[in-house]
Amino acid sequence: MNDRSPWPALEHIAYGGDYNPEQWPRETWHEDVRLMQDAGVNLVSIGIFSWALLETEEGVFDFEWLDTVIDLLHENGIAVDLATPTASPPAWFFAAHPDARVVDRDGEVLGFGSRGMVSHSAPAYRDAVVRIASALAERYGDHPAVLMWHVHNEYGVPVAEDYSPHAVAAFRDWLRERYGSLEGLNEAWGTAFWGQHYSNWEHVGAPAAAPTTVNPAQRLDFKRFSDHQLRACFIAERDAIRAHSDKPVTTNFMANQEFTTDLWAWAREVDVVSDDHYLTAADPEAHIGLAIAADLSRSVGGGRPWMLLEHSTSAVNWQPRNIAKRPGEMARNSLAHFGRGADAIMFFQWRASRSGAEKFHSAMVPHAGTDSRVWREVVQLGASLGRLAESRGSRVRADVAILWDFESFWAQSLEWRPVQDLDPRERIRAFYERLWRDGITVDFALPGADLSGYKLVVAASQYLLRNDDAANLTRYVAGGGTLVVSYFSGIVDEHDAVHAGGFMAPLREVLGCDVEEFLPLRTGSSAAVDYAAGDGTSHRLDADEWADDLRITSAAVRGTYAEGPGTGKPAITRNEHGRGTGWYVSTRLDADALETVMGDVYADAGLAPAGLPEGVEAVARSGEAGDYLTLVNHSDADAEVPVDGVDLLTGAATGGTLQLGAGGTAVVRLAR
């Protein structure tokens, strides 16, 4: 963070979306502004894909149309989140700088015609983004309509890794900086394996396609480097803007959708965290994925309010089957984001595009126009958000942290793991879903973070675990914390090297066990666990995918394999360490099977399920002006929730019990 204003100067929850007036004739602009007012829109993002129309040839600018648009918005009371258009350089840029094209891992040169197609290591691109960002900031830095800056768009998609010669040269420099000497690199990468020792820096390259699996430490470093290059581009633009403007600068993340950028590092560079979020259409409970994304957006920003810069009013266009949102679903999604800390609810995009790759993406003004369900719900949502202004800046507090570490995800995604395609998201989702169903609010955290404020920490998928991070977790438990670790955690260090001492050695002390051998299951087979619950009852839990052959040192065995390759061996353990407790779950339990185990974990942590009606989501925000409980009923049944206060959406007092209709939402200012 820096000392600039961390939030755009808005009096309300921000509401609006991406606005691309250049796709429409000027007469439509006036209709747009009128409709924005009808809908309560107070902020729009503009210019995201406008480079070719702003810099018509290298160094030649045409700002007339943008002046007109910004002035028109300003006259009508709509503020501007002004974008730098650097996600999509103009055709002339590629013609002039063919060396700035991305080369993919297979050596294919990716050309013009879509978007996001540039080498982030190409000097010509670095020069060009500073030039256009500077020109925009110089011209609009003090414009009263411009409340904030939107740099680029969704860094890391559609292409995060570039294997062009520019990238290879920059990677070499980055490695030299990182390791100091070739000896350091050879050691870190373990080049003695498969005879990959380097004797000359010039021989070190990017981990492009090779006959078989490439050095995993090299690949992991290339992911770090690629993230670094993207961020260096952002910083260059941000600093160019800051030379001319003191408005906050952001860029839109894709939390829980793309893992190409380390959002913890990015969040340190932006003034305000922004996120884009789209439901996974194939998932009937996509609102749980939404909650993860929202909690992650809040967490990477250290708990500060954040902006939802894009979501959709209904279907998107780029999934295999794009499912329209049901009536009310857009409002439920929006309120869920708000409840988890968003002070801006915005959409891609204002008006549906007639042309181009995303014409079937829904918008605030759909192809069907204003005589449509979507438009009516957009107007209604604008009115609802208008009633929440007092809550701005209030914050969410969580007792539980789930570890979320992009480096570990990157490392785990490499080839030749014990089981192919073991996805870290799957385990995180399972534990998160258990906590969501139990009504317990969650933060995400790095394993090296200060965890002392949490009653419970869950390491659902922490394949890569640095020794000092393991020590941090151990101290956390010693100090009274409760830790749950799931399988395939604590396996490698920061260089994707197996920990000396064996699998999970750095957690041996805190967990009272380590892993002698992995016992993954064949596809379709299962590994039931007999679990002895804290209340003395016994449970047969369904499990699959994975088992371990554990070596117990001090842990108590709470679950034992009843089927599969681990039959008779320990499956779930509990270890008292210092003033706290470390649990280990060595197999895959789904959210249902986790219920009993987590019940015991909660007891150790001093937590309890919230007892909400099934399908009801409730999250609290607290601020100076009050405490706000956001409630979303995802079920098809009406629900009663005992809560005392005033529902800001209706203005009605709950009288102790909120009647939350099927699909309904409420934001209750709690009686104090």
Pattern 385-424, binding to a second copy, x per CB under 8 A?
------------------------------xxxxxx----
Considering only 101-109, 122-130, 247-255, 272-280, which stretch makes contact with a second copy by CB under 8 A?
Answer: 101-109
Among 314, 333, 334, 633, binds a second copy (CB under 8 A): 314
Annotated binding-site residue? 115: yes
**Beta carbon of residue 124, minimum distance to a second copy (angstroms, whole number):** 16
| Dihedrals phi, psi of 223, to nearest 5 degrees | -65, -45
Q: Which of 55, 154, 377, 407 does the annotation list as catalytic? A: 154
What is the rounded distance in angstroms from the CA atom of residue 588 to the CA atom of residue 220?
Answer: 26
* Whether residue 329 lies in the annotated active site: no
Closest approach of a second copy to the CB of residue 386, in Å: 26
Q: Is 516 a catalytic residue?
A: no
Task: Please state, in angstroms and rounded to a whole number, the distance separating the CA atoms of residues 266 and 41.
Answer: 28
Indicate whether 9 belongs to the interface with a second copy (CB under 8 A).
Answer: no
Nearest CB to a second copy, comparing residues 192 and 652 = 192
Strands 79-83 and 146-150, bridge-based pairing: parallel
> Whole-number minimum distance, CB 337 to a second copy, in Å?
22
User: What are the CA-CA distances from residue 251 to residues 292, 353, 391 (Å)?
Assistant: 19, 23, 24
| From 130, 135, 217, 428, residue interacting with a second copy (rule: CB under 8 A) | 217
**Is the CB of 56 or the CB of 452 nearer to a second copy?**
56
- Within 10 angstroms of residue 193's Cβ, the number of other Cβ atoms is 12
Q: Given the complex with a second copy, which of 99 and 358 has the nearer CB atom? A: 358
282 near a second copy, rule: CB under 8 A:
yes
Q: Give the residue among 26, 17, 28, 152 at the shortest CA–CA distance from 78.
A: 17
- Residue selected from 448, 480, 502, 609 as contacting a second copy according to rule CB under 8 A: 502
Tell which positions 445-474 bind a second copy, by CB under 8 A.
none
Window 564-623: residues binding a second copy (CB under 8 A): 565
Question: By C-beta, is 362 or 654 nearer to a second copy?
Answer: 362
Residue 553: closest CA among 577, 532, 529, 528: 577
What distance in Å separates the CA atoms of residue 494 and residue 77, rounded to the nearest whole number? Answer: 51
Q: Tell me the site size for a second copy, rule CB under 8 A.
A: 121
Distance CA 13, CA 383 (A): 11
DSSP assigned state of 219: H
Q: Enumerate residues 105-134 that contact a second copy by CB under 8 A.
A: 106-117
Q: Containing H/E element for 531?
A: strand 529-532
* In the complex, minimum distance from the CB of residue 591 to a second copy, in angstroms, rounded to a whole number: 20
Q: Is 25 in the site for a second copy (CB under 8 A)?
A: no
Residue 385 belongs to what H/E stretch? helix 373-386
Using the rule CB under 8 A, which residue among 445, 446, 459, 519 binds a second copy?
Answer: 519
Q: 42 among the known binding-site residues? A: no
Please provide the DSSP assignment of 549-616 as one string: EEEESSPEEEEEE-SSTTTTSEEEEEEEETTEEEEEE-SB--TTTHHHHHHHHHHHHT-----PPTTE
Catalytic entry in 310, 329, 377, 545:
310
Which of 518, 531, 583, 602 binds a second copy (CB under 8 A)? It is 518
Q: Output phi, psi for 168, to 5 deg.
A: -60, -45
- Is 178 annotated as contributing to ligand binding? no
Buried/exposed 439-472: b ≥16 CB within 10 Å, e otherwise = bbbbbbbbbbbebeebbbbbbbbbbbbbeebbeb
SS (H, E, C) 255-288: CCCCCCCCHHHHHCCCCCCEEECCCCCCCCCHHH
Question: In the structure encoding, which two tokens stand for residue 310, read together?
Answer: 């894009």
Please select the residue that binds a second copy; options are 72, 323, 532, 670, rule is CB under 8 A.
Answer: 323
| CB nearer a second copy, residue 317 or residue 650 | 317
CB–CB of 314/280 below 8 Å? no
Chain positions 373 to 392 lying near a second copy, rule: CB under 8 A, are 373-374
Identify the residue among 189, 234, 409, 436 touching a second copy (CB under 8 A). Answer: 189
State CA 238 to chain mean position distance: 21
> 3-state SS string over 92-154?
HHHHHCHHHEEECCCCCEECCCCCCCECCCCHHHHHHHHHHHHHHHHHHCCCCCEEEEECCCC
232 binding a second copy? (CB under 8 A): no
Q: Closest CB to a second copy among 441 and 587?
A: 587
Considering only residues 56 to 85 of the shown chain, the ones binding a second copy according to CB under 8 A are: 56-57, 85
Residue 662 interacts with a second copy (CB under 8 A): yes or no: no
Q: Using an 8 Å Cβ cutoff, are 161 and 106 in contact?
A: no
- Residue 198 in contact with a second copy, rule: CB under 8 A: yes
State yes or no: residue 158 binds a second copy (CB under 8 A). Answer: yes
Task: Check residue 553 for interaction with a second copy (CB under 8 A).
Answer: no
Q: Which of 143, 178, 244, 495 binds a second copy (CB under 8 A)?
A: 495
Write down the least CB distance from residue 513 to a second copy, Å.
12
Rule CB under 8 A: say whether 90 interacts with a second copy.
Answer: yes
Q: Give the SS3 label for residue 65.
A: helix
Contact predicate 610/440, CB 8 Å = yes
Q: Is 348 in the site for a second copy (CB under 8 A)?
A: no
Q: 100, 331, 511, 515: which one contacts a second copy (CB under 8 A)?
A: 515
Q: Please name which of 267, 252, 255 lies closest in space to residue 293, comparing C-alpha atoms.
A: 255
Which of 312-320, 441-449, 463-471, 623-631 is the region at the interface with a second copy (rule: CB under 8 A)? Answer: 312-320
Which of helix, strand or coil describes residue 54?
A: helix
Q: List the one residue from 42, 45, 134, 218 that touches a second copy (CB under 8 A).
A: 218
369, 386, 655, 656: which one binds a second copy (CB under 8 A) = 369
If the CB atoms of residues 341 and 565 are measured against a second copy, the closer one turns out to be 565
Q: Which residues are catalytic?
A: 154, 310
Annotated binding site: 115, 153, 318
Residue list for the binding site for substrate: 115, 153, 318
